[in-house]
Chains A and B, each alone.
Chain A
Amino acid sequence: MASLNITNVEKSFGHTHILKGINMDIQDGEFIILVGPSGCGKSTLMNCIAGLEDVTGGQICIEDHDITGVLPKDRDIAMVFQSYALYPNMNVRKNISFALEIRKLPKAEIEREVERVAKLLQIEHLLDRKPGQLSGGQRQRVAMGRALARHPKIYLFDEPLSNLDAKLRVEMRTEIKKLHQRLGTTIVYVTHDQIEAMTLADRIAVMKDGHIQQFGTPQEVYDNPANRFVAGFMGSPSMNFIDTELVNHEGQVCVKLLVMDQLHYLPTPSSERGLLERVGQKVVLGIRPEQITHVIPHYASNPSTFIVKAKIDVIEPTGPDTLVLVKMNEQEVNCRVEPHEAGKPGETMSLMINMSKTVFFDPITGERL
């Protein structure tokens, strides 16, 4: 168990700058999720933490010890790779004990450790098999077993579940969460699965172009995105972005919304204080699909909800809800409604917009207002 402090870490390959000053302070025992589009440098950052790549600048500390120049094997970090990277020529037992043998642990202790890990991950019956004889899910367990075997201070997981089918992924996700609760070890975990990120993380770091865009709890990142990129990246289906204009309407700062030739003035939430000085300017309204629903009478009287009539373009049933695609300000907007409340394409339906959680972005910089 250990804290991990990453300070101004930079990494370039030749003239290509991949990491451009990464700062993360991770507490002992935290489960950190790293998300971002592919190619943004997540794996590179993991490799830098593990010592598999040398950083070009900055500092990495574990428990306040500077380990920036320390060899991977002396960092006391274990990593689970996307491809599992099991040694194909060794059986499962050997795969798990390899690191322990290199560290010259006594034979009896190695055996005990392999037994412990195998029991923890329920792979006791697989110990004598070669990786080639295992299913995807079993390989995944063995890869985790190999990482667990030497009680490292920090675990790094680089998209460990992305090669599994959907059902197995959900199972393993729960197991990893349980494992973390049991062991309490610091984990940095890369994924591009929204749900994995939200369910597992104590804190999420959203990365893009070699920068951390936002680093906060899942709820913070979801409700209070730092910029349009984070807002669009987290959440599925994605947040709706509607180009609009701020106006002063009857003493309130409102956005203009044209739905089916009917112009609406929707007041912005009072929490978004910075909007007053932007009146008359163009802004981007960010609203999540679940904030636009069918009319729920119980909520309709709420001062932050407004009802508009819209023409349905497309419907996409997902099971629990149906996504309804409509046009607002001539732009496509996703709404999440009860399946039996959803009309058919071409029909008109009343939608209830909840403005209390809307966010606003600068149309040019994409920064939150």
Chain B
Amino acid sequence: MNTNPNRRYADITGRALLYAALGIMAIYYLLPLALMIVTSFRSMDEIRMGQLIDWPTQLNLDAWRIAWSEAQIGARSERGLQPYFINSMLITLPAVAISTLIGAVNGYVLSFWRFRGSNLFFGLLLFGCFLPFQAILLPHANVLGRMGISGSITGLIFTHVVYGLAFTTLFFRNYYVTLPGELIKAAQLDGAGFWRIFWRIILPLSTPILTVCVIWQFTQVWNDFLFGVTFSDPSSQPVTVGLNNLVNSSTGERRYNVDMAGAIIAALPTLLVYVIAGKYFVRGLTAGSVKG
């Protein structure tokens, strides 16, 4: 116990300052979100009459309904963000699943079944993590064209899988090198082959890194705008593109409440993923070896 009162006051002051700083930062980051939520529940009349920033007088769900299913976005016959949202789901779920699984197999091979040149292979793959995606837009469009999947959901899934692999492989490889290699040797002597070792021993040990990888990939793919706007046609555009069009295509008066509701809808899945799996994310990032 510290008996010197001056020291104790210094401690308390330090702590208070720390919490104050943290509080200010939290407010700084949360305020925009709070404003968006508040605005999305106000009616246009309220916004027009009063302040731009104010509490809603009543809980008005019109903006949400309009953003989801009524707003005319561009020249499409279907209205609202709903079809875009569904596209995003159709792109994101398979892209995340496939890139995670292939990343796991890649990491497994690079950690336990090294081959001649596997280090070089890994090095080149890492390069993919630093690749500026603007640089590959044109050649990749060409590739998609030759494959006959340009402008399609399949094409976007393919794109996200290919450009996600560098990261997913890195995740799994870095996790697997911390597992004891004797595990694989023991399984080999027990008679297990390449795939059985993967499915029965390695994958069941991968929960922490699987979580990290899924959250990472989900966020990347769902939030992607560049690929979504470049490699899609109107029927396959993801929700990020839909939101952009919603905000930009309204003629006349700007409907702040609808824009805000739309933005929240577009961001909701990633928010949910973080809320549900966020603590596993941190845990997975710091997870070390699984010592038997």
Contact = CB atoms under 8 A, between A and B. Distances in A.
Interface in B129-169: none
Given A52-B185, A131-B292, A85 B180 contact: yes
Contact of B185 (A79, A88, A89, A102): A79
- Which of B180, B189, B200 has the largest number of chain A CB atoms within 10 A? B189
B201 A89 contact: yes
A93 to B, nearest CB: 14
A139 interface: yes
Contact of B292 (A47, A78, A84): A84
Contacts of B292: 83-88, 131-132, 139
Interface in B170-207: 180, 182-183, 185-192, 196, 200-201, 204-205
Nearest to A81: B182
A84 B290 CA distance: 13
Contacts of B192: 73, 98, 102
A47 B185 contact: yes
- The interface residues of chain A, by DSSP majority, are classed as mixed
B186 A81 contact: yes
Contacts of B201: 87, 89
Interface string A83-105: 11111110000000011001100
A73 B189 contact: yes
Contacts of B191: 73, 99, 102-103
Which of the listed residues A50, A87, A102, A139 has the most CB atoms from chain B within 10 Å of its own CB? Answer: A87
Contacts of A83: 180, 182, 291-292
A98 B192 CA distance: 9
A72 interface: yes
A77 B180 contact: no
A82 interface: yes
A139 B192 CA distance: 21
A38 to B, nearest CB: 16
Contacts of A78: 189
A149 B190 CA distance: 10
Contact of A89 (B189, B204, B291): B204
A323 to B, nearest CB: 38
B185 to A, nearest CB: 5
Contacts of A89: 201, 204-205
Interface in A20-42: none
Contacts of A85: 180, 182-183, 185-186, 292
Given A84-B292, A85-B292, A102 B186 contact: no
A67 to B, nearest CB: 13
B180 A79 contact: no
Contact of B188 (A73, A84, A103): A73
Nearest to B192: A102
Nearest to A98: B190
B189 A102 contact: no
A84 to B, nearest CB: 6
Nearest to A139: B292
Interface in A224-248: none
Nearest to A102: B191
Interface string B266-292: 000000000000000000000000111
A15 B191 CA distance: 31
Contacts of B180: 83, 85
Contacts of B290: 88
A82 B196 CA distance: 23
Given A81-B182, A83-B180, A88 B189 contact: no
A102 B190 contact: yes
A4 to B, nearest CB: 16
Most buried by A among B185, B188, B290, B291: B185
B142 to A, nearest CB: 40
B186 A88 contact: no
B204 to A, nearest CB: 4
Nearest to A131: B292
B112 to A, nearest CB: 11
Contacts of A146: 186, 190
B189 A87 contact: no
Contacts of A132: 291-292
A167 B10 CA distance: 51
Contacts of B196: 102
Interface string A258-274: 00000000000000000
A87 B187 contact: yes
Contact of A50 (B189, B200, B291): B189
Contact of B205 (A72, A73, A88): A88
A99 B182 contact: no
A52 B187 contact: no
Interface string B228-272: 000000000000000000000000000000000000000000000
Contacts of A98: 187, 190, 192, 200
B14 to A, nearest CB: 40
B194 to A, nearest CB: 12
A72 B186 contact: no
Interface in A129-185: 131-132, 139, 146
B17 to A, nearest CB: 42
A52 B189 contact: yes
Contacts of A79: 185-186, 189
A85 to B, nearest CB: 4
Nearest to B290: A88
Contacts of B188: 52, 72-73
Contacts of B190: 73, 98-99, 102, 146
5 contacts: A78-B189, A87-B186, A88-B205, A89-B204, A102-B190
Given A77-B189, A85-B180, A86-B292, 7 more contacts: A52-B189, A73-B192, A78-B189, A81-B186, A89-B201, A98-B192, A98-B200
10 cross-chain pairs, A with B, having the tightest CB-CB distances, nearest first = A99-B190, A73-B191, A85-B182, A89-B204, A85-B186, A86-B292, A102-B191, A81-B182, A88-B292, A131-B292
Interface of B: 180, 182-183, 185-192, 196, 200-201, 204-205, 290-292
